[in-house]
Structure 1
Amino acid sequence: MAFADPRLRAGEVEQDRLGMPRTASGRNAVVFRLTGPGGPWAVRCMTRAPAEGARRYNALVRHVRSSPCPVLTAAEWVDPGILVRGAWWPVVLMPWIPGGTLDTAVADRLDEPRALRHMAANWRVVLAQLRRSGVGHGDLQHGNVLVDEDLRLRLVDLDSVWVPGTGQWPRSEAGHPDYQHPHQRRSAEAFQLDAFPASVIFLSMLAVAADPALWELHTQENLIFRAPDFRQPGRTNLWKRLAVSPDSRVAALARHLANDCAQATDPGRGPEELLAVSS
Protein backbone atom coordinates (compact mmCIF):
# COMPACT_ATOMS: atom_id res chain seq x y z
CA MET A 1 0.00 0.00 0.00
CA ALA A 2 2.87 2.39 0.70
CA PHE A 3 4.56 2.25 -2.71
CA ALA A 4 3.30 3.45 -6.07
CA ASP A 5 5.76 1.56 -8.27
CA PRO A 6 4.60 -2.01 -9.08
CA ARG A 7 8.16 -3.34 -8.63
CA LEU A 8 8.13 -2.14 -5.04
CA ARG A 9 4.55 -3.08 -4.25
CA ALA A 10 5.38 -6.70 -5.10
CA GLY A 11 8.47 -6.79 -2.89
CA GLU A 12 9.20 -7.80 0.68
CA VAL A 13 11.15 -5.58 3.06
CA GLU A 14 14.03 -7.21 4.94
CA GLN A 15 13.26 -7.43 8.66
CA ASP A 16 15.33 -7.61 11.81
CA ARG A 17 14.97 -10.16 14.62
CA LEU A 18 12.07 -8.20 16.08
CA GLY A 19 10.16 -8.25 12.81
CA MET A 20 10.78 -4.55 12.14
CA PRO A 21 12.07 -3.25 8.81
CA ARG A 22 15.88 -3.24 8.75
CA THR A 23 17.12 0.25 7.92
CA ALA A 24 20.27 2.27 7.34
CA SER A 25 19.94 5.97 8.01
CA GLY A 26 21.87 8.83 6.45
CA ARG A 27 21.63 12.59 6.57
CA ASN A 28 18.94 12.81 3.89
CA ALA A 29 17.34 9.39 3.63
CA VAL A 30 16.45 6.08 5.23
CA VAL A 31 17.40 3.03 3.17
CA PHE A 32 15.42 -0.21 3.12
CA ARG A 33 16.41 -3.48 1.48
CA LEU A 34 13.49 -4.83 -0.51
CA THR A 35 13.43 -8.12 -2.40
CA GLY A 36 11.10 -8.17 -5.38
CA PRO A 37 10.99 -8.76 -9.12
CA GLY A 38 14.50 -8.37 -10.51
CA GLY A 39 16.30 -9.15 -7.26
CA PRO A 40 17.11 -7.16 -4.14
CA TRP A 41 16.71 -3.38 -4.25
CA ALA A 42 17.94 -0.55 -2.09
CA VAL A 43 15.08 1.92 -1.61
CA ARG A 44 16.19 5.34 -0.41
CA CYS A 45 13.27 7.12 1.23
CA MET A 46 13.96 10.84 1.52
CA THR A 47 13.73 12.65 4.82
CA ARG A 48 14.23 15.83 2.81
CA ALA A 49 14.26 16.02 -0.96
CA PRO A 50 17.58 17.12 -2.54
CA ALA A 51 17.63 20.24 -4.70
CA GLU A 52 16.73 19.41 -8.31
CA GLY A 53 16.55 15.74 -7.35
CA ALA A 54 14.55 14.47 -10.31
CA ARG A 55 16.57 16.55 -12.74
CA ARG A 56 19.90 15.33 -11.35
CA TYR A 57 19.05 11.65 -11.43
CA ASN A 58 17.40 11.79 -14.85
CA ALA A 59 20.35 13.71 -16.30
CA LEU A 60 22.75 11.16 -14.85
CA VAL A 61 20.82 8.27 -16.41
CA ARG A 62 21.05 9.98 -19.82
CA HIS A 63 24.72 10.85 -19.42
CA VAL A 64 26.00 7.40 -18.46
CA ARG A 65 24.42 5.88 -21.58
CA SER A 66 27.14 7.54 -23.64
CA SER A 67 29.79 7.95 -20.93
CA PRO A 68 29.52 4.90 -18.65
CA CYS A 69 30.81 5.18 -15.10
CA PRO A 70 30.77 1.68 -13.57
CA VAL A 71 31.69 2.90 -10.08
CA LEU A 72 28.43 4.83 -9.78
CA THR A 73 25.54 2.66 -8.67
CA ALA A 74 22.68 2.81 -11.17
CA ALA A 75 19.93 4.86 -9.57
CA GLU A 76 16.40 5.82 -10.57
CA TRP A 77 14.35 8.71 -9.22
CA VAL A 78 10.79 7.47 -8.60
CA ASP A 79 8.07 10.05 -8.02
CA PRO A 80 5.53 9.34 -6.68
CA GLY A 81 7.46 6.94 -4.49
CA ILE A 82 6.15 6.27 -1.00
CA LEU A 83 2.98 7.38 0.76
CA VAL A 84 3.63 8.94 4.18
CA ARG A 85 0.71 10.32 6.21
CA GLY A 86 -1.36 10.95 3.13
CA ALA A 87 1.42 12.63 1.09
CA TRP A 88 3.57 11.13 -1.67
CA TRP A 89 7.34 11.44 -1.34
CA PRO A 90 9.96 10.52 -3.93
CA VAL A 91 12.26 7.54 -3.48
CA VAL A 92 15.51 6.58 -5.19
CA LEU A 93 15.62 3.00 -6.37
CA MET A 94 18.87 1.15 -7.04
CA PRO A 95 20.16 -2.41 -7.07
CA TRP A 96 21.32 -3.65 -3.67
CA ILE A 97 25.13 -3.55 -3.66
CA PRO A 98 26.82 -6.08 -1.37
CA GLY A 99 29.51 -4.78 0.92
CA GLY A 100 30.07 -2.47 3.85
CA THR A 101 30.86 1.21 4.10
CA LEU A 102 34.45 2.38 3.78
CA ASP A 103 34.98 3.05 7.47
CA THR A 104 33.82 -0.47 8.34
CA ALA A 105 36.14 -1.93 5.70
CA VAL A 106 39.10 -0.01 7.13
CA ALA A 107 38.25 -0.97 10.72
CA ASP A 108 38.08 -4.65 9.76
CA ARG A 109 41.58 -4.52 8.23
CA LEU A 110 43.62 -2.49 10.69
CA ASP A 111 46.08 -5.37 10.94
CA GLU A 112 46.25 -5.80 7.17
CA PRO A 113 48.29 -2.88 5.81
CA ARG A 114 48.62 -4.53 2.43
CA ALA A 115 44.82 -4.71 2.10
CA LEU A 116 44.48 -1.04 3.08
CA ARG A 117 47.03 -0.01 0.48
CA HIS A 118 45.18 -2.15 -2.07
CA MET A 119 41.97 -0.30 -1.21
CA ALA A 120 43.79 3.00 -1.66
CA ALA A 121 44.96 1.86 -5.11
CA ASN A 122 41.42 0.85 -6.00
CA TRP A 123 40.25 4.28 -4.86
CA ARG A 124 42.47 5.80 -7.56
CA VAL A 125 40.68 3.58 -10.09
CA VAL A 126 37.31 4.89 -8.89
CA LEU A 127 38.47 8.47 -9.29
CA ALA A 128 39.89 7.82 -12.75
CA GLN A 129 36.51 6.49 -13.88
CA LEU A 130 34.75 9.57 -12.50
CA ARG A 131 37.17 11.80 -14.41
CA ARG A 132 36.71 9.90 -17.66
CA SER A 133 32.94 10.13 -17.41
CA GLY A 134 33.06 13.82 -16.52
CA VAL A 135 30.78 13.31 -13.52
CA GLY A 136 31.19 14.90 -10.11
CA HIS A 137 29.82 12.89 -7.19
CA GLY A 138 29.54 15.96 -4.96
CA ASP A 139 29.59 14.27 -1.53
CA LEU A 140 32.51 11.89 -1.24
CA GLN A 141 32.75 10.56 2.32
CA HIS A 142 33.08 7.15 3.97
CA GLY A 143 29.34 6.48 4.20
CA ASN A 144 28.92 6.90 0.44
CA VAL A 145 31.64 4.41 -0.50
CA LEU A 146 30.87 0.69 -0.42
CA VAL A 147 33.61 -1.96 -0.36
CA ASP A 148 32.99 -5.58 -1.36
CA GLU A 149 34.89 -8.71 -0.32
CA ASP A 150 37.34 -8.26 -3.19
CA LEU A 151 38.09 -4.70 -1.99
CA ARG A 152 36.39 -3.14 -5.00
CA LEU A 153 34.80 0.23 -4.29
CA ARG A 154 31.48 1.63 -5.49
CA LEU A 155 29.83 5.01 -4.92
CA VAL A 156 26.28 5.48 -3.65
CA ASP A 157 24.07 8.44 -2.64
CA LEU A 158 24.00 10.53 -5.81
CA ASP A 159 21.85 13.35 -4.43
CA SER A 160 24.60 15.90 -5.12
CA VAL A 161 25.81 14.53 -8.46
CA TRP A 162 26.98 16.95 -11.17
CA VAL A 163 26.56 15.97 -14.82
CA PRO A 164 28.11 17.81 -17.82
CA GLY A 165 25.94 19.91 -20.06
CA THR A 166 23.18 20.69 -17.60
CA GLY A 167 24.10 24.25 -16.66
CA GLN A 168 24.37 25.66 -13.17
CA TRP A 169 22.47 23.79 -10.47
CA PRO A 170 22.06 24.79 -6.89
CA ARG A 171 24.37 22.54 -4.96
CA SER A 172 22.25 19.98 -3.16
CA GLU A 173 24.70 19.58 -0.26
CA ALA A 174 27.67 21.44 1.08
CA GLY A 175 29.28 18.05 1.56
CA HIS A 176 30.28 16.31 4.76
CA PRO A 177 32.26 18.86 6.83
CA ASP A 178 34.92 16.31 7.82
CA TYR A 179 35.81 15.90 4.13
CA GLN A 180 35.44 19.39 2.67
CA HIS A 181 37.99 22.09 1.95
CA PRO A 182 37.68 24.90 4.53
CA HIS A 183 37.18 27.40 1.68
CA GLN A 184 35.23 25.20 -0.68
CA ARG A 185 33.96 26.82 -3.85
CA ARG A 186 30.20 26.67 -4.26
CA SER A 187 30.66 26.98 -8.04
CA ALA A 188 32.91 23.93 -8.43
CA GLU A 189 32.00 21.43 -11.15
CA ALA A 190 32.98 17.93 -12.28
CA PHE A 191 36.08 16.57 -10.54
CA GLN A 192 36.63 19.92 -8.77
CA LEU A 193 33.74 18.88 -6.53
CA ASP A 194 35.56 15.72 -5.52
CA ALA A 195 39.28 16.50 -5.62
CA PHE A 196 39.80 17.53 -1.99
CA PRO A 197 37.61 14.88 -0.30
CA ALA A 198 39.11 12.28 -2.65
CA SER A 199 42.57 13.18 -1.35
CA VAL A 200 41.36 13.12 2.26
CA ILE A 201 40.09 9.56 1.77
CA PHE A 202 43.20 8.43 -0.09
CA LEU A 203 45.61 9.85 2.48
CA SER A 204 43.54 8.48 5.37
CA MET A 205 43.77 4.91 4.06
CA LEU A 206 47.52 5.11 3.48
CA ALA A 207 48.09 6.77 6.84
CA VAL A 208 46.20 4.08 8.77
CA ALA A 209 48.01 1.36 6.81
CA ALA A 210 51.31 2.84 8.02
CA ASP A 211 50.14 3.61 11.57
CA PRO A 212 46.98 1.76 12.71
CA ALA A 213 47.01 3.71 15.99
CA LEU A 214 45.66 6.69 14.03
CA TRP A 215 42.31 4.91 13.96
CA GLU A 216 41.75 6.10 17.53
CA LEU A 217 40.84 9.44 15.88
CA HIS A 218 37.97 7.78 14.02
CA THR A 219 34.38 8.53 14.96
CA GLN A 220 31.18 7.57 13.20
CA GLU A 221 31.50 10.86 11.29
CA ASN A 222 34.99 10.61 9.81
CA LEU A 223 37.96 8.43 8.96
CA ILE A 224 40.78 10.25 10.76
CA PHE A 225 40.45 13.90 9.69
CA ARG A 226 37.97 16.33 11.24
CA ALA A 227 36.89 19.74 9.99
CA PRO A 228 39.07 21.59 12.58
CA ASP A 229 42.14 19.87 11.08
CA PHE A 230 41.43 21.54 7.75
CA ARG A 231 40.99 24.94 9.40
CA GLN A 232 44.36 24.57 11.19
CA PRO A 233 46.58 22.98 8.53
CA GLY A 234 49.77 21.50 9.91
CA ARG A 235 49.02 22.50 13.49
CA THR A 236 46.69 19.90 15.00
CA ASN A 237 47.69 16.62 16.60
CA LEU A 238 46.77 14.67 13.46
CA TRP A 239 48.97 16.75 11.17
CA LYS A 240 51.89 16.35 13.56
CA ARG A 241 51.46 12.57 13.65
CA LEU A 242 51.23 12.40 9.86
CA ALA A 243 54.45 14.40 9.55
CA VAL A 244 56.36 11.60 11.31
CA SER A 245 54.53 8.70 9.65
CA PRO A 246 56.60 5.54 9.09
CA ASP A 247 55.60 5.90 5.44
CA SER A 248 57.48 8.82 3.89
CA ARG A 249 54.86 9.06 1.16
CA VAL A 250 52.19 9.73 3.79
CA ALA A 251 54.25 12.55 5.30
CA ALA A 252 54.75 14.15 1.87
CA LEU A 253 51.08 13.84 0.91
CA ALA A 254 50.03 15.31 4.25
CA ARG A 255 52.33 18.28 3.75
CA HIS A 256 50.81 19.05 0.34
CA LEU A 257 47.24 18.53 1.58
CA ALA A 258 47.92 20.97 4.42
CA ASN A 259 49.15 23.49 1.87
CA ASP A 260 45.92 23.06 -0.07
CA CYS A 261 43.91 23.71 3.09
CA ALA A 262 45.67 27.05 3.51
CA GLN A 263 44.66 28.23 0.03
CA ALA A 264 41.58 30.43 0.15
CA THR A 265 40.79 30.28 -3.57
CA ASP A 266 41.91 26.76 -4.55
CA PRO A 267 39.44 23.86 -4.19
CA GLY A 268 42.31 21.45 -3.61
CA ARG A 269 44.04 18.78 -5.65
CA GLY A 270 43.14 15.16 -6.18
CA PRO A 271 45.37 12.21 -5.25
CA GLU A 272 47.04 12.04 -8.67
CA GLU A 273 48.15 15.67 -8.45
CA LEU A 274 49.38 15.25 -4.88
CA LEU A 275 51.29 12.10 -5.81
CA ALA A 276 52.90 13.92 -8.74
CA VAL A 277 54.27 16.71 -6.56
CA SER A 278 55.25 14.28 -3.78
CA SER A 279 57.45 12.07 -5.94
Structure 2
Amino acid sequence: MNYPLLSEYIEAIKSAEDNFEKLSYLRPILGNDGLPVMTGGNFAQVFKMKDVRNGKLYAIKCFTKEQEGRTEAYHQIADALKDVDSPYFASIRFLEKELFVDTEQTSETEFSVLLMDWVEGKTLDKYLRENLNDKYALEMLAYRFSQLAQWLIPQPFAHGDLKPDNILVREDGTLVLVDYDGMYVPAMKGQKARELGSSDFRHPLRTENDFDEHIDDFPLMVILLSLKAVSVNPFLLEEYGAKDRLLFSSNDYYNITKVSHLHINRT
Protein backbone atom coordinates (compact mmCIF):
# COMPACT_ATOMS: atom_id res chain seq x y z
CA MET A 1 0.00 0.00 0.00
CA ASN A 2 1.19 3.51 -0.83
CA TYR A 3 0.89 6.37 1.62
CA PRO A 4 0.60 10.15 1.24
CA LEU A 5 3.66 12.36 0.94
CA LEU A 6 4.68 14.41 3.96
CA SER A 7 3.53 17.57 2.19
CA GLU A 8 0.08 16.00 1.70
CA TYR A 9 -0.14 15.00 5.35
CA ILE A 10 0.83 18.54 6.37
CA GLU A 11 -1.99 20.04 4.32
CA ALA A 12 -4.46 17.57 5.84
CA ILE A 13 -3.29 18.31 9.40
CA LYS A 14 -3.45 22.08 8.85
CA SER A 15 -7.20 21.68 8.29
CA ALA A 16 -7.65 19.08 10.99
CA GLU A 17 -11.17 20.18 11.91
CA ASP A 18 -12.36 19.24 8.42
CA ASN A 19 -10.26 16.13 7.82
CA PHE A 20 -10.54 14.10 11.03
CA GLU A 21 -13.49 11.76 11.47
CA LYS A 22 -13.58 11.46 15.29
CA LEU A 23 -10.72 13.76 16.31
CA SER A 24 -12.04 16.99 14.80
CA TYR A 25 -11.47 18.74 18.14
CA LEU A 26 -7.69 18.60 17.57
CA ARG A 27 -5.68 21.45 16.05
CA PRO A 28 -2.01 21.45 15.05
CA ILE A 29 0.57 23.35 17.06
CA LEU A 30 2.43 25.59 14.61
CA GLY A 31 6.12 26.46 14.72
CA ASN A 32 7.73 29.80 13.91
CA ASP A 33 7.80 28.78 10.25
CA GLY A 34 4.01 28.45 10.21
CA LEU A 35 4.18 24.68 9.73
CA PRO A 36 2.84 22.07 12.16
CA VAL A 37 5.36 20.99 14.80
CA MET A 38 6.39 17.46 13.82
CA THR A 39 9.02 14.78 14.11
CA GLY A 40 9.77 11.94 11.71
CA GLY A 41 10.81 8.30 11.90
CA ASN A 42 11.26 5.27 9.65
CA PHE A 43 7.57 4.48 9.24
CA ALA A 44 5.70 7.59 10.28
CA GLN A 45 5.44 11.31 10.95
CA VAL A 46 4.25 12.59 14.32
CA PHE A 47 2.37 15.89 14.67
CA LYS A 48 1.90 17.88 17.87
CA MET A 49 -1.79 18.65 18.40
CA LYS A 50 -3.96 20.47 20.95
CA ASP A 51 -7.45 19.61 22.13
CA VAL A 52 -9.41 22.85 21.72
CA ARG A 53 -11.86 21.73 24.41
CA ASN A 54 -9.39 21.57 27.29
CA GLY A 55 -5.95 22.52 25.95
CA LYS A 56 -4.48 19.03 26.43
CA LEU A 57 -1.63 18.14 24.08
CA TYR A 58 -1.55 15.01 21.95
CA ALA A 59 0.62 13.42 19.32
CA ILE A 60 -0.87 12.15 16.08
CA LYS A 61 1.17 9.52 14.28
CA CYS A 62 0.59 9.35 10.53
CA PHE A 63 2.10 6.39 8.71
CA THR A 64 4.31 6.88 5.65
CA LYS A 65 5.35 3.29 4.93
CA GLU A 66 3.64 -0.08 4.96
CA GLN A 67 4.33 -2.39 7.89
CA GLU A 68 2.86 -5.88 7.75
CA GLY A 69 0.35 -6.58 10.49
CA ARG A 70 0.33 -2.99 11.79
CA THR A 71 -3.43 -2.64 12.24
CA GLU A 72 -3.91 -5.85 14.20
CA ALA A 73 -0.74 -5.21 16.20
CA TYR A 74 -1.72 -1.73 17.30
CA HIS A 75 -5.18 -2.86 18.33
CA GLN A 76 -3.53 -5.56 20.45
CA ILE A 77 -0.98 -3.12 21.88
CA ALA A 78 -3.62 -0.53 22.74
CA ASP A 79 -5.75 -3.20 24.39
CA ALA A 80 -2.78 -4.47 26.45
CA LEU A 81 -1.69 -1.00 27.58
CA LYS A 82 -5.10 0.40 28.48
CA ASP A 83 -4.90 -1.09 31.99
CA VAL A 84 -1.19 -0.42 32.51
CA ASP A 85 -0.83 2.29 35.13
CA SER A 86 2.77 3.37 34.65
CA PRO A 87 4.55 6.67 33.93
CA TYR A 88 6.89 4.76 31.61
CA PHE A 89 4.26 4.37 28.88
CA ALA A 90 1.98 6.89 27.21
CA SER A 91 -1.64 6.03 26.46
CA ILE A 92 -2.41 5.20 22.83
CA ARG A 93 -5.46 4.75 20.65
CA PHE A 94 -5.44 3.37 17.09
CA LEU A 95 -8.10 4.77 14.76
CA GLU A 96 -8.68 3.25 11.34
CA LYS A 97 -9.66 5.42 8.36
CA GLU A 98 -9.55 8.49 10.59
CA LEU A 99 -7.76 11.15 8.53
CA PHE A 100 -8.85 12.32 5.10
CA VAL A 101 -5.86 13.20 2.90
CA ASP A 102 -6.07 14.54 -0.62
CA THR A 103 -3.24 12.50 -2.10
CA GLU A 104 -2.00 11.52 -5.53
CA GLN A 105 -0.02 8.54 -4.24
CA THR A 106 -2.94 6.13 -3.97
CA SER A 107 -6.65 5.87 -4.66
CA GLU A 108 -7.23 5.68 -0.91
CA THR A 109 -8.27 8.91 0.79
CA GLU A 110 -8.79 7.87 4.43
CA PHE A 111 -5.84 6.77 6.56
CA SER A 112 -5.32 5.28 10.00
CA VAL A 113 -3.62 7.29 12.73
CA LEU A 114 -2.30 6.62 16.20
CA LEU A 115 -3.40 9.02 18.94
CA MET A 116 -0.95 9.36 21.84
CA ASP A 117 -0.45 11.62 24.83
CA TRP A 118 2.14 14.25 23.96
CA VAL A 119 5.30 13.73 26.01
CA GLU A 120 7.48 16.80 26.49
CA GLY A 121 11.10 15.84 26.98
CA LYS A 122 14.56 15.28 25.55
CA THR A 123 15.84 12.04 24.10
CA LEU A 124 18.06 10.13 26.50
CA ASP A 125 21.09 10.67 24.27
CA LYS A 126 20.58 14.44 24.11
CA TYR A 127 19.95 14.71 27.84
CA LEU A 128 23.05 12.63 28.59
CA ARG A 129 25.32 14.76 26.42
CA GLU A 130 23.93 18.02 27.79
CA ASN A 131 24.67 16.90 31.36
CA LEU A 132 28.13 15.35 31.02
CA ASN A 133 29.51 17.92 33.47
CA ASP A 134 26.77 17.30 36.04
CA LYS A 135 27.73 14.19 38.02
CA TYR A 136 24.51 14.23 40.06
CA ALA A 137 22.35 14.38 36.91
CA LEU A 138 24.29 11.45 35.41
CA GLU A 139 23.95 9.37 38.55
CA MET A 140 20.22 10.10 38.80
CA LEU A 141 19.73 9.19 35.13
CA ALA A 142 21.41 5.82 35.68
CA TYR A 143 19.35 5.26 38.84
CA ARG A 144 16.05 6.17 37.17
CA PHE A 145 16.82 3.91 34.24
CA SER A 146 17.61 1.07 36.63
CA GLN A 147 14.15 1.58 38.18
CA LEU A 148 12.58 1.47 34.72
CA ALA A 149 14.46 -1.75 33.94
CA GLN A 150 13.41 -3.40 37.20
CA TRP A 151 9.78 -2.54 36.43
CA LEU A 152 9.85 -3.60 32.77
CA ILE A 153 11.73 -6.92 32.95
CA PRO A 154 8.99 -8.87 34.82
CA GLN A 155 6.15 -7.44 32.72
CA PRO A 156 4.33 -9.78 30.29
CA PHE A 157 5.06 -7.36 27.42
CA ALA A 158 8.15 -5.75 25.87
CA HIS A 159 8.88 -2.50 24.06
CA GLY A 160 10.87 -4.18 21.30
CA ASP A 161 13.04 -1.26 20.18
CA LEU A 162 14.80 0.19 23.20
CA LYS A 163 17.36 2.82 22.22
CA PRO A 164 18.13 6.41 23.31
CA ASP A 165 15.84 7.97 20.68
CA ASN A 166 12.87 6.03 22.08
CA ILE A 167 13.50 7.04 25.69
CA LEU A 168 12.49 10.57 26.68
CA VAL A 169 13.62 12.40 29.80
CA ARG A 170 10.95 14.75 31.11
CA GLU A 171 11.81 18.10 32.68
CA ASP A 172 11.55 16.55 36.15
CA GLY A 173 13.99 13.79 35.17
CA THR A 174 11.46 10.97 34.90
CA LEU A 175 11.60 8.62 31.93
CA VAL A 176 9.01 7.54 29.38
CA LEU A 177 9.21 5.12 26.47
CA VAL A 178 7.87 6.12 23.06
CA ASP A 179 7.42 4.48 19.63
CA TYR A 180 5.59 1.20 20.15
CA ASP A 181 5.81 -0.17 16.58
CA GLY A 182 7.87 -3.19 17.64
CA MET A 183 6.08 -4.04 20.90
CA TYR A 184 5.31 -7.53 22.04
CA VAL A 185 2.15 -8.21 24.07
CA PRO A 186 0.77 -11.59 25.19
CA ALA A 187 -1.82 -11.66 22.39
CA MET A 188 1.09 -11.88 19.92
CA LYS A 189 2.47 -15.13 21.31
CA GLY A 190 3.75 -17.32 18.47
CA GLN A 191 4.04 -14.47 15.97
CA LYS A 192 7.23 -13.28 14.33
CA ALA A 193 8.70 -9.88 15.18
CA ARG A 194 7.59 -7.06 12.89
CA GLU A 195 10.95 -5.34 13.37
CA LEU A 196 14.16 -6.15 15.22
CA GLY A 197 15.18 -2.74 16.51
CA SER A 198 18.55 -1.04 16.32
CA SER A 199 21.48 -3.43 15.92
CA ASP A 200 23.53 -1.46 18.47
CA PHE A 201 21.00 -2.36 21.18
CA ARG A 202 19.97 -5.82 20.01
CA HIS A 203 21.31 -9.20 21.05
CA PRO A 204 23.55 -10.39 18.19
CA LEU A 205 21.74 -13.71 17.92
CA ARG A 206 18.22 -12.31 17.89
CA THR A 207 16.06 -13.12 14.84
CA GLU A 208 12.42 -12.48 13.95
CA ASN A 209 11.60 -15.75 15.70
CA ASP A 210 12.75 -14.30 19.02
CA PHE A 211 9.61 -12.39 19.94
CA ASP A 212 8.41 -12.54 23.51
CA GLU A 213 8.45 -10.63 26.80
CA HIS A 214 12.23 -11.06 27.12
CA ILE A 215 13.39 -9.17 24.01
CA ASP A 216 14.06 -6.03 26.10
CA ASP A 217 16.37 -7.77 28.57
CA PHE A 218 19.56 -7.34 26.54
CA PRO A 219 19.10 -3.68 25.51
CA LEU A 220 18.08 -2.78 29.07
CA MET A 221 21.38 -4.15 30.38
CA VAL A 222 23.42 -2.54 27.60
CA ILE A 223 21.88 0.88 28.21
CA LEU A 224 22.10 0.61 31.98
CA LEU A 225 25.77 -0.46 31.84
CA SER A 226 26.53 2.49 29.55
CA LEU A 227 24.74 5.00 31.78
CA LYS A 228 26.41 3.70 34.92
CA ALA A 229 29.85 3.77 33.30
CA VAL A 230 29.35 7.32 32.01
CA SER A 231 28.17 8.46 35.44
CA VAL A 232 31.50 7.26 36.83
CA ASN A 233 33.61 8.52 33.94
CA PRO A 234 31.94 10.94 31.49
CA PHE A 235 34.99 10.86 29.19
CA LEU A 236 33.95 7.37 28.10
CA LEU A 237 31.09 8.76 26.02
CA GLU A 238 33.43 10.93 23.99
CA GLU A 239 35.91 8.09 23.53
CA TYR A 240 33.58 5.19 22.77
CA GLY A 241 30.22 6.78 21.96
CA ALA A 242 28.82 7.85 18.60
CA LYS A 243 25.69 9.32 17.09
CA ASP A 244 22.57 7.23 17.77
CA ARG A 245 24.28 4.93 20.28
CA LEU A 246 26.02 4.96 23.65
CA LEU A 247 29.21 3.05 24.50
CA PHE A 248 28.67 -0.19 22.58
CA SER A 249 28.07 -1.00 18.92
CA SER A 250 26.85 -4.16 17.23
CA ASN A 251 30.46 -4.99 16.30
CA ASP A 252 31.38 -5.06 19.99
CA TYR A 253 28.95 -7.91 20.66
CA TYR A 254 30.78 -10.08 18.10
CA ASN A 255 34.20 -9.10 19.45
CA ILE A 256 33.80 -8.76 23.18
CA THR A 257 37.56 -8.59 23.77
CA LYS A 258 37.54 -5.22 22.02
CA VAL A 259 35.69 -3.62 24.94
CA SER A 260 37.39 -5.55 27.74
CA HIS A 261 39.94 -2.74 28.08
CA LEU A 262 37.34 -0.04 28.70
CA HIS A 263 38.79 1.98 31.60
CA ILE A 264 35.83 3.07 33.67
CA ASN A 265 37.93 4.58 36.46
CA ARG A 266 40.04 6.79 34.22
CA THR A 267 39.93 10.53 35.14
Q: Give the TM-score of the pair, scaled to structure 1.
A: 0.78
| CA distance in 1 between partners of 2:261 and 2:231 (Å) | 14
Q: Determine helix, strand or coil for the equivalent of 2:188.
A: coil
Q: Deviations over 1:206-258 (max 9, x none)?
A: 122122222224433212322222222121xxx1552x2118xxxxxxxxxxx
Contact 2:82 2:91 survives alignment (8 Å): no
CA RMSD of aligned residues (A): 2.2
Contact 1:76 1:93 survives alignment (8 Å): yes
Instruction: Kindly provide the amino acid, as one letter, of the partner of residue 130 in structure 2.
Output: D
Aligned to 1:5: 21
By how many angstroms is 1:193 displaced?
0.8
Q: 1:47-66 residue pairs with structure 2 within 5 A?
A: 47-66=64-83
Q: Determine helix, strand or coil for the equivalent of 1:89.
A: strand
User: Which ranges in structure 1 are unaligned for 5 or more consecutive residues?
Assistant: 248-279
By how many angstroms is 1:60 displaced?
2.5
Aligned to 1:246: 265
| CA distance in 1 between partners of 2:141 and 2:102 (Å) | 40
Aligned to 1:251: none
Instruction: Kindly provide the amino acid, as one letter, of the partner of residue 257 in structure 2.
Output: G
Aligned to 1:231: 254
Q: 1:178-197 residue pairs with structure 2 within 5 A?
A: 178-197=200-219
| CA distance in 2 between partners of 1:175 and 1:76 (Å) | 22
Q: Determine helix, strand or coil for the equivalent of 2:48.
A: strand
Contact 1:30 1:46 survives alignment (8 Å): yes
Aligned to 2:15: none
| CA distance in 1 between partners of 2:22 and 2:256 (Å) | 52
| CA distance in 1 between partners of 2:241 and 2:37 (Å) | 25
Q: Determine helix, strand or coil for the equivalent of 1:18.
A: coil
Q: 1:1-279 residue pairs with structure 2 within 5 A?
A: 2=12, 3-7=19-23, 9-36=24-51, 37-38=53-54, 39-66=56-83, 68-82=85-99, 83=101, 85=103, 87=108, 88-216=110-238, 217-235=240-258, 239-242=259-262, 244-246=263-265
Q: Determine helix, strand or coil for the equivalent of 2:199.
A: coil
Contact 2:45 2:64 survives alignment (8 Å): yes
Contact 2:88 2:175 survives alignment (8 Å): yes
Q: Determine helix, strand or coil for the equivalent of 1:215.
A: helix
Q: Determine helix, strand or coil for the equivalent of 1:133.
A: coil
What is the number of equivalent residue pairs in this alignment? 242
The 1:103/1:50 distance shift into structure 2, 3 A limit, reads same
| CA distance in 1 between partners of 2:241 and 2:35 (Å) | 30
| CA distance in 1 between partners of 2:242 and 2:42 (Å) | 16
User: Which ranges in structure 2 are unaligned for 5 or more consecutive residues?
Assistant: 1-10, 13-18
| CA distance in 1 between partners of 2:187 and 2:82 (Å) | 14
By how many angstroms is 1:67 displaced?
5.0
| CA distance in 2 between partners of 1:66 and 1:96 (Å) | 19
The 1:105/1:138 distance shift into structure 2, 3 A limit, reads same
Q: Give the TM-score of the pair, scaled to structure 2.
A: 0.81
